[in-house]
Amino acid sequence: MKGSRVQTLILLLVSLSLFACSSPKVKPPRKAPQVTVALVQSKTVTLSEKYVCQLRADHHIEIRAQEIGYVDAIEVKERQMVKQGDVLFQINYKKLFQDKATSSEGTSPKGTNLTKARADADAAAVALGVAPITAPFDGMVGPISLQVGSIIQKGEALTTLSDNDLMRAYFHVSEARYLEFKTELERQKDEPQIELVLPNGNKFDQPGKFAAIGANFNSETGTVSFRADFANPDHLLRNGQTASLLISRVQNDAIVIPQRATFEINDDRYVYVVDKDNVAHRREIFVQDETDNLFVIKEGLHVDEKIIVNGALQVHDGEKVEYNEQPSK
């Protein structure tokens, strides 16, 4: 009996040991993450947008010959500035005797080169006199490929003439941005600042001004044409040139947060907002614009809310955190 009791006691102790070993270990509670928070602020910011633009002169035309003739004189040089009425070319217009040309071709013996008959008719032409071609407005003369004595045909281009005193910059804006532009222009008293950035990276020294908005949208691109005008007193800008347009506008009371405070999930952007009980809540935000490492917030946050700016990756939604507050700037 006594040995039996000892065996029972041993089995009981072994069972208790096995049960203790198989029992799940209780994990210690997760320590509250250490993070840095900052208050959401509102401030005045300057927002800038860049667009590729095409420059066009205020007036730009091709100078063309009105009749067949010969260049008797070229009175200007390429890139020369001229005034309205200045003579550009002297053209010696001639009228060929078509009947002589026809007669020569009809009676020429077999084997005679018809080119000679035409040349004879040309030599028998009667000059109607020298007529000047003048500038229809003040402007800059374009390329000239003709030489004195060149034969010109009716409608042939002789050069171009550009009035470069005022340059028009055309650029295209999306439909959504067009609606925002309209709202901003109606709401703000001051027009946005418009600058021209040249291909070498330098800014043009004259400010621009909104001048026109296209009447129709391009259904293929979903854009509408805008135009800004620039004075061009030194004639640095030329017709057909490409540049970049920089549009800057001031926005007062903009809600801004550091870009590093945000994170993305499935292309949506979020921040962690810390409530009065130090609990972090994930919240989706909508960004309007960005400037100087800041996001300008369109929706999702209010002034003086606390958001996590450092340590967000170690935080779980709904978790209590310990934080240091970043001083407001």
Residue type, 204: F
Return the SS3 of 260. Answer: helix
Mean pLDDT check: name the lowest of 68-72, 103-107, 130-134.
Answer: 103-107
Please report, for residues 7, 192, 249, the alpha-carbon distance to residue 49 in angstroms, rounded to integers and kept in the order given.
Answer: 88, 11, 9
At residue 125, the pLDDT reads: 42
Please report, for residues 130, 223, 312, the alpha-carbon distance to residue 269 in angstroms, rounded to integers and kept in the order given.
Answer: 75, 27, 13
At residue 10, the pLDDT reads: 58
Mean pLDDT check: name the lowest of 92-96, 134-138, 261-265.
Answer: 92-96
pLDDT > 80? residue 234: yes
CB 61, CB 161: distance < 8 Å: yes
| Strand stretches in the chain, DSSP E | 34-39, 41-64, 69-74, 81-82, 87-95, 126-134, 139-141, 151-152, 157-174, 193-197, 208-218, 223-231, 242-258, 263-265, 268-274, 280-291, 294-299, 306-310, 322-325
Q: Model confidence over 147-179: pLDDT tens digits?
A: 999 999 989 999 999 999 999 999 999 888 888
Q: Write out the DSSP string of 93-143.
A: EEE--HHHHHHHHHHPPTT--HHHHHHHHHHT-EEEEEEEEE-SSSEEE--
Confidence band for 23, pLDDT divided at 50, 70 and 90: low
Q: What is the pTM of this model?
A: 0.66
Please report, for residues 5, 270, 304, the alpha-carbon distance to residue 317 in angstroms, rounded to integers and kept in the order given.
Answer: 57, 11, 20
Q: Kindly list the structural domains of the chain, giving each domain's residue range(s) and its CATH number in brackets, ordered by start.
A: 34-48+253-325 (2.40.420.20), 66-155 (2.40.50.100), 164-247 (2.40.30.170)
